[in-house]
Structure 1
């Protein structure tokens, strides 16, 4: 069994070499700094493990293959015997809400609340422990665990008193508040709905305590902000967690600047250990433009240049925008978070400044609208390598599926959502609309680019749970052992590519990472099982032995 000291003995500190092949030429004269040998190495594009050794110099891969690495071993080389461990390119999670999820590690986790009583008891227990002036904050409740009845403020008021409570449904698109929080936010029967959001009201017009999508801003404005140090500390915890799962890079398509600003602070202190691609709000394109003009586009540790917006909400909160009303809420088709004219205007001008635009779209009306926007921008601004992204790409009209390939739009998908939402999606939209929902295989078979992520904290930041979900599609309730909509299963290679080569393409970094090849960054994950040799049912049992980023050991058991 490999021990932590086995990996750390190979972690040689060194100055960053010049980028590209000159560093490789130097290693051929002096020998590689570290040789990882006796491994099963999957290079990221072959049908399975195809080599057994990797040579690393500085922050990049110098050579691969037993003969090539053996020829580069010199007196200065640290040799690490991996004892048959499986090695693959570092995994990229293409959709995280990193600061929010990292902060949530210290907040109330309500995923285990399987009944209304459990929900109330967990919130009440936290309310008793907070000091005066502090809020109970948390995430993870799911009304579908207890039959679908939505909670309201009356469930919480007696148990929490004057302690304000704001806890999010696990999809992050709906908040539950108690009366104390409503009072502090100034929300009452006379408060108008926020464009792009919903204040849920009872039959008398009184707020129930539920806020959907843009309406959440009403309470977020009065919740005491975390300090910069608190955010940075939480981010470090999140980084450590991601590295322990074999993740070497994350994309952060955010709707605020909190993650981005923390990343700048952390990068100023040195290497961040985990690589980041930061997105900020599409409406703030001018602010990002100023940063690029003053500071460039970042580096391999923290890179920026992406902009994100919402077209609609979520299926679980019934705010995803559909052509027709919900089957279980006939009065609603969902919510359009931003007017189409604004999304088009912002995308047009952001694209002219060479920014990458990613738009969240879940309902079949929203996905259609976003594809139309992307097509219009390409027609108006002319050809270039822009790589538009649709985040989630969850429900589509059948005729729209082929547009991803035709218009070179990347489908940024989260396979875990399929096995989660698959428990109850038919209740929301009926069997006919399911034919274009979570249609991953249909998108891939059309030849479209795609990438995979978790949506952490909505789903675990463990790519192996996502890979298993993609290839088996067994819903979390155990009711679909053969797979929910099994025709949409991905192959193992397809699923792996979503976290490696597809992810690299989605972040304009395919010439830097995503494969194990000489000249690419030395980012790879060392695992305890060969993912190609185990039953798919065991994929989520894979453990990470070590995570190498930039040629250094960033995590080891």
Structure 2
């Protein structure tokens, strides 16, 4: 009889490309792959190198994250820790503390603050000046579409009342025309961000290492890095060489609407280089497009004007015809399409672009992704299935939190607010759904998003009946979206289910979410994570600290 290196005894959710996953009583691993299930696996326990008795826990395929920014998430730990702060005063105080502890820092760079903490998401440079006035400060909002700067940062960037509005971006101004300190979207943010000294390779590799540890603790073994610039690809390859990459990552290189034609050859060269040097963990098969901005900033592309800005339908990053042309070109080059689309006009432009590529190019296994999918015009819902589009949701967003109640809903009104995050509707139409986190925009912990997907309630329980409850998923549907759905997006058909021969990418939970109170799902602990049968995290719960391996 073949020997196993590792056997798990207890409930195993085998998963699969369906919403009704089956359960086995054991799983055996050998050479990084699933060797056997059920009774056959149990019979191997006697001679296995290690046996894990799971008790009341659940073993399942490891989670994936279909849309995130791991390097940005790692970098957030380098600067002022403002993410969980709940007031402007607290953020300003933390920036001041960090600046005093780091007199050597030329710039103070941090992320990511809650834009709902100030009326209309508009933050004043003078608030930061009270803490630091002699060095530039730039903080990203947690949507990463807005920055808040102090006066010195604006001065270094040359942003004044005479600065014209950039083509893609807004400089929020005071009544006298002087810049307030809040910059929205690409070209406006870049006025300041382009002045920030670049991180060196050591810092970027360390950020990747920290991100990998955070993901391992959350039970994740594959991530779509959904915004990659050239220096970031170099950093990932350096992390591979140094043994600092602890999970599988696909790099989505960002297509720029102003220079995408010149990017085609470099993108292909990066894909080839990563295939040669990235080993088994790193690929670069995807191109990322930003169709629009975000609702809370008034920059998501809408079919009708914003209620608080009747002159504006938002800010498309690409003209729809240009987006379609670029998607056709990169699709012809063999890249998977991954489009950020938030507003109903942004989603329509993304669907049109995918449809254009399908019509123009030969058939291939393209698996196009539209991510976020916040507001979809009802007329466009059938097109997801018709075009084979994967709908990648960040399920943690599907709740009436302050970002919704104080910024988004007042801008779009009740009628359009009722169209948000149509997970249930698309699932009923047979659309393939994957889950992501958009970390560090929001929490990378999958169980938190899964709880919201099945309840549509805040963690404090509001509203009691769920927000747009017809869009809720079942627990099995949500688990599938976070596992098999992401594996399908990744093109990893061998990871769709835990079956003999499948890679042993596994997560062990302290409790079965399918049997839990729906409002308690997020409290299940990750007890261990395995990548190809190798532990990357073990929760040492016998009075010792958790161990990241």
TM-score by length of 1: 0.90
Question: Where does residue 264 of structure 1 map in the other structure?
Answer: 237
Pick the aligned partner of 2:526 from 544, 550, 555.
544
CA–CA distance in 2 between the matches of 1:488 and 1:321? 23
Q: Classify the secondary structure of the residue corresponding to 1:404.
A: helix
Question: Where does residue 418 of structure 2 map in the other structure?
Answer: 435
> Is 1:68 paired with 2:40?
yes
Alignment CA distance shift 1:137-1:426 (3 Å) = same
Once the 2 structures are TM-superposed, how far is the Cα of residue 322 of structure 1 from its aligned partner? 0.7
Question: Where does residue 293 of structure 2 map in the other structure?
Answer: 313
CA–CA distance in 2 between the matches of 1:473 and 1:73? 41
Pick the aligned partner of 2:506 from 511, 516, 524.
524
Alignment CA distance shift 1:164-1:43 (3 Å) = same
- On the 8 A contact 1:152/1:176 being kept in 2, the answer is yes
CA–CA distance in 1 between the matches of 2:291 and 2:162? 27
Pick the aligned partner of 2:346 from 344, 359, 366.
366
Alignment CA distance shift 1:295-1:486 (3 Å) = closer
> Is 1:211 paired with 2:183?
yes
CA–CA distance in 1 between the matches of 2:179 and 2:282? 42
Once the 2 structures are TM-superposed, how far is the Cα of residue 234 of structure 1 from its aligned partner? 1.8
> Is 1:273 paired with 2:246?
yes
CA–CA distance in 2 between the matches of 1:476 and 1:138? 26
- On the 8 A contact 2:270/2:284 being kept in 1, the answer is no
Once the 2 structures are TM-superposed, how far is the Cα of residue 199 of structure 1 from its aligned partner? 1.6
Question: Where does residue 395 of structure 1 map in the other structure?
Answer: 375
Q: What stretches of structure 1 of length at least 5 have no aligned partner?
A: 1-28
Alignment CA distance shift 1:47-1:383 (3 Å) = closer
Once the 2 structures are TM-superposed, how far is the Cα of residue 42 of structure 1 from its aligned partner? 0.6
- On the 8 A contact 1:475/1:484 being kept in 2, the answer is no
Pick the aligned partner of 2:216 from 243, 265, 276.
243
Once the 2 structures are TM-superposed, how far is the Cα of residue 76 of structure 1 from its aligned partner? 6.0
- On the 8 A contact 1:288/1:305 being kept in 2, the answer is no
Once the 2 structures are TM-superposed, how far is the Cα of residue 180 of structure 1 from its aligned partner? 0.4
Pick the aligned partner of 1:329 from 309, 314, 319.
309
CA–CA distance in 2 between the matches of 1:206 and 1:478? 43
* 1:165-204 equivalence runs, <5 A: 165-204=137-176
- On the 8 A contact 1:309/1:360 being kept in 2, the answer is yes
CA–CA distance in 1 between the matches of 2:376 and 2:280? 35
Q: Classify the secondary structure of the residue corresponding to 1:41.
A: strand
Q: Show CA shifts across 1:433-476 (max 9, x none).
A: 12322111111111111100110001111000000010011136
Question: Where does residue 381 of structure 1 map in the other structure?
Answer: 361
Once the 2 structures are TM-superposed, how far is the Cα of residue 546 of structure 1 from its aligned partner? 0.7
Once the 2 structures are TM-superposed, how far is the Cα of residue 302 of structure 1 from its aligned partner? 1.1
- On the 8 A contact 2:140/2:146 being kept in 1, the answer is yes
CA–CA distance in 2 between the matches of 1:544 and 1:294? 35
- On the 8 A contact 1:196/1:338 being kept in 2, the answer is no
Alignment CA distance shift 1:450-1:239 (3 Å) = same
- On the 8 A contact 1:357/1:389 being kept in 2, the answer is yes
Moved more, 271-280 or 67-76: 67-76
TM-score by length of 2: 0.91
Alignment CA distance shift 1:336-1:255 (3 Å) = farther
* CA-based RMSD: 2.1
Question: Where does residue 64 of structure 2 map in the other structure?
Answer: 92
CA–CA distance in 2 between the matches of 1:64 and 1:225? 49
* 1:103-502 equivalence runs, <5 A: 103-145=75-117, 148=120, 150-214=122-186, 215-270=188-243, 272-282=245-255, 283=260, 284-293=263-272, 296=275, 298-419=278-399, 420=401, 421-424=403-406, 425-475=408-458, 479-502=462-485
Moved more, 358-367 or 133-142: 133-142
Question: Where does residue 33 of structure 1 map in the other structure?
Answer: 5
CA–CA distance in 1 between the matches of 2:306 and 2:448? 29
Q: Show CA shifts across 1:402-429 (max 9, x none).
A: 1100111111110111224443432120
Once the 2 structures are TM-superposed, how far is the Cα of residue 537 of structure 1 from its aligned partner? 0.6
Q: Which of structure 1's runs of 4+ aligned residues deviate more than 6 A?
A: none
Moved more, 70-79 or 332-341: 70-79
Q: Classify the secondary structure of the residue corresponding to 1:396.
A: coil
Once the 2 structures are TM-superposed, how far is the Cα of residue 75 of structure 1 from its aligned partner? 4.5
- On the 8 A contact 2:395/2:449 being kept in 1, the answer is yes
Q: Classify the secondary structure of the residue corresponding to 2:36.
A: strand
CA–CA distance in 2 between the matches of 1:360 and 1:477? 29
CA–CA distance in 2 between the matches of 1:171 and 1:405? 28
Q: What stretches of structure 2 of length at least 5 have no aligned partner?
A: 540-549
Moved more, 290-299 or 493-502: 290-299
Alignment CA distance shift 1:221-1:271 (3 Å) = closer
CA–CA distance in 2 between the matches of 1:489 and 1:423? 19
Once the 2 structures are TM-superposed, how far is the Cα of residue 507 of structure 1 from its aligned partner? 0.9
CA–CA distance in 1 between the matches of 2:523 and 2:346? 36
Moved more, 75-84 or 147-156: 75-84
CA–CA distance in 1 between the matches of 2:459 and 2:510? 25
CA–CA distance in 2 between the matches of 1:71 and 1:359? 47
Q: Classify the secondary structure of the residue corresponding to 2:130.
A: helix
CA–CA distance in 2 between the matches of 1:295 and 1:178? 39
CA–CA distance in 1 between the matches of 2:101 and 2:443? 27
- On the 8 A contact 1:526/1:545 being kept in 2, the answer is yes
